Structure 1
């Protein structure tokens, strides 16, 4: 059996994050769709990668993966975003060709995928491009967006160069109200941003990755309010977006200990794209709460190096780390050491369903991120027989491939130049 690849196309759409869709065409017009994580220049790679995959047999996934990795030898990690998308698209193509869902092709057995909602703060949405710069889009006027936090639009949204100011979206009351709404919708796990301004924020502290004791007390008050609101049956996590220096991260971890968080994510810049795993080891030795990281790591090789750090939650991002194939490899490595795998996910429905299918076969799967809760068209853009996420879970179906497709009319409604 052979299925020759006839074409490859790329389209980049700006939503709350940048979504780059990749379509791989087989014979007789059948196609599969994948997604690449945010990175500048994905569309610009289309021509060269088309040359690499056209006329390859889609069933030879390993050969195609190796071919793309050797071709990208000098290309840097950004190329892995597109390689991931191609891998996902090929799985979708094969599933449609064989009339089987991807999770069955993988031999998966978990049909119900638990989802946590990324709640941000008192409001639930920020929009940024592939360089983490804030963007203004027409549909944002109808969304609950964090629109008064940033004092400048020329600095990245996250990190120690953000220039911010506190407002009422970052009060314990705002966080607890949002938590209650999300739990009422059926979510059993919530993650909040805690690298946010407080009434005591000083610019010199931001630049140093530091917090005053007043800052730490205030952030602790936020999580106390959330815990008291949702009770002990709801998992709570916080994201710190690589913001803090080591000593500050340790002090904050200690302050948050009473609220029994499922994890604290990316407290220090050790796991930016250029990584420093030694710093992670120093952190985990001084922090009782589990540390989560992995969204900026690529392939099983980098995750293998996490084993010595004491990080207990791995958060691979499938639209960056290598696609469905690599998600499976990473999950299998994690299961050898009984480490939880809880994928990072800022993707559209395409990437989200790729993760869900891959997690069906992950022995130590925990809970998968959903970052599109407040994007008004997130569910609308997916052509499927039922809503993708209901009451905090994705129910995998017998629909072939990833189980969804893009709704062409909706895509053109929001992106008139859409072309796949």
Structure 2
């Protein structure tokens, strides 16, 4: 191509970015609270002035992301798979996956902006242009109050809801729980015990009370809307089975995280024992680590949190694995609009997607944390998939960010130079 032809071409296409020459130059952070919980927002900067945004999972340490800065500065963010392979060894299950995932979201934002395409186009394209959201709802001890709170969300247009149904509803009712001393009061000895080891049992009276709670909620919100249940408590398998069977008449969308995800065989036993869909996965890192649950048919719904499971591309790979096993994928999330929009692109590109969690239905400023999206972002229980490049919003609302800084780390786009020289011999083989 001659230089004259090239000049004419450049007049007719967007050359604001030259993807092959794009390089990461810096990573900065802002720690927010109340969005709905504590989150770290990442801003990854480049030599061409394009910035990408990501989010470290709620409650996770910003250090999980900052330690990666020296490993990505100088890289081309469009080399998504190369960088992910480089940094994924520094993630782990639970909140420890938050740094890798937040960086991955920001890379997707940058690459999409560099190429001028929405993030979903980078992982295979679009199956849907509207993303169904389900509204999680804080616990009410009174079933009528719980039902009314859920009904208000239904009236806003949500077609799926979630509530907590667990031993917290039984603590003040004698004869409903059996537990060792200290097991119910959060003492240091008991608070970190996994479910099979706590010794907590739910009695028949307790099981009936939980079923009665759900029945009353259903009578208010209706039987013609999807309703899921979570936070049953740290109870062992036998109690879980008895509760699951008692909840069968109420056609729940799923019962979530009754058992730690690590116990595949116990999940299989629970799933085979109850006629209610079972669901887990929010604390699992990387698609390969979901495989035991999927291969064993141990759950009916897989429920990764993209801010733990690996970000957009890795969680898309998980969705494809789950589909091969006949398992639907819903997305766990408790985040600002930054990780929410990353999840929207993931959901758009995932064939067996079911619903995306929204945990901020009562946060009045949530919609205003980013610019360039419809307001409200969620309308009639759905998010319209944006066609703008990257994650699809124009920018973050820095002024609003400044009003919601974490008082323990109150710096807006804090300088991270102290992490520039952090390094080690990272290779996992000799």
Based on CA coordinates, which of the two structures has the bigger radius of gyration? 2
Query: Paired residue for 1:284?
Result: 271
Q: CA deviation at 1:24?
A: 1.2
Q: Is the 8 A contact 1:266 1:293 kept in 2?
A: yes
Long gaps (5+) in structure 1: 123-169
Query: Paired residue for 1:150?
Result: none
Classify 1:209/1:346 alpha carbon distance in 2 versus 1 (closer, same or farther; 3 Å).
farther
Residue 168 of structure 2 corresponds to residue 181 of structure 1: no
Aligned length: 366
Query: Paired residue for 1:86?
Result: 103
Residues 72-100 of structure 1: per-residue CA shift (max 9 Å, x gap): 28x77655210111110011111222232
Q: Secondary structure at the match of 1:55?
A: coil
Q: CA deviation at 1:218?
A: 1.7
Query: Paired residue for 2:399?
Result: 409
Query: Paired residue for 2:353?
Result: 365
**Structure 1-normalised TM-score?**
0.82
Q: Secondary structure at the match of 2:366?
A: coil
Q: CA deviation at 1:399?
A: 2.1
Matches within 5 A, 1:60-79: 60-70=79-89, 72=90, 78-79=95-96
Classify 1:174/1:79 alpha carbon distance in 2 versus 1 (closer, same or farther; 3 Å).
closer
Q: CA deviation at 1:64?
A: 0.4
Residues 148-205 of structure 1: per-residue CA shift (max 9 Å, x gap): xxxxxxxxxxxxxxxxxxxxxx122111111211111111111000123234167753
Classify 1:10/1:391 alpha carbon distance in 2 versus 1 (closer, same or farther; 3 Å).
same
Query: Paired residue for 2:126?
Result: 108
Pick from 194, 201, 204: which aligns with 1:213? 204
Q: Is the 8 A contact 2:134 2:161 kept in 1?
A: yes
Matches within 5 A, 1:18-417: 18-43=38-63, 46=66, 48-70=67-89, 72=90, 78-106=95-123, 107-122=125-140, 170-195=141-166, 196-198=168-170, 199-200=172-173, 205=179, 206=184, 208-240=199-231, 243-268=234-259, 270-271=260-261, 275-307=262-294, 308-386=296-374, 387-404=376-393, 405-415=395-405, 417=411
Tell me which moved more, 51-60 or 201-210. Answer: 201-210
Measure, in 1, the Cα distance between the counterparts of 2:41 and 2:413. 10
Q: Is the 8 A contact 2:93 2:284 kept in 1?
A: no
Measure, in 2, the Cα distance between the counterparts of 1:96 and 1:246. 48
Long gaps (5+) in structure 2: 1-18, 185-197, 415-430
CA RMSD of aligned residues (A): 2.0
**Structure 2-normalised TM-score?**
0.80
Q: Is the 8 A contact 2:32 2:401 kept in 1?
A: no
